[in-house]
Amino acid sequence: MYQHYVDQDDNGKSKDAFRTIKEVSLELNVPQHVLRFWEKKFPQLKPLKRGGNRRYYRRDDINFLLTLKKLLYHDKYTIKGVQKLIKENNISLSSKNYTSKPDINTNYKNSISEIVFDLQNLRKIISENLK
């Protein structure tokens, strides 16, 4: 799993305490309107709503949002891609059965580094043989 919410926040709130949309927005560095949009796109995300439609997020909601943010921003999934991932694999994003896709760029960087190293060695061998 990507990340779990900490035991207590800077204000000393318990890990099980409800968080307002503002607190969650600040913690995740995601605008409030994006959180509301994600609620519409992912029915699994159901913050508690009180008078005046004020939202209160539970720990599981925040874990869901953390994983969702990782899938969308880091792993570069689209909204439809995440919806499909959830549907096809019957995945709950707050559970441990989610694993991110491998970082392809790291594999390419390693391959490129090896190729450059081999080319440098080949150049050295050729230049020594030309002398």
Give domain limits for the chain.
1-100, 101-131
**pLDDT for the residue 11:** 60
- What is the reported pLDDT for 95? 47
pLDDT digits (tens, 9 = 90+) for 8-46: 555 667 777 899 999 999 999 999 999 999 999 999 898
Percent of the chain with pLDDT over 90: 33
Q: Which class does domain 1-100 fall in?
A: mainly alpha
Q: Helix (H, G, I), strand (E, B), or coil: what is residue 55?
A: strand
Q: Give per-residue pLDDT as tens, 70-82.
A: 999 998 899 998 9
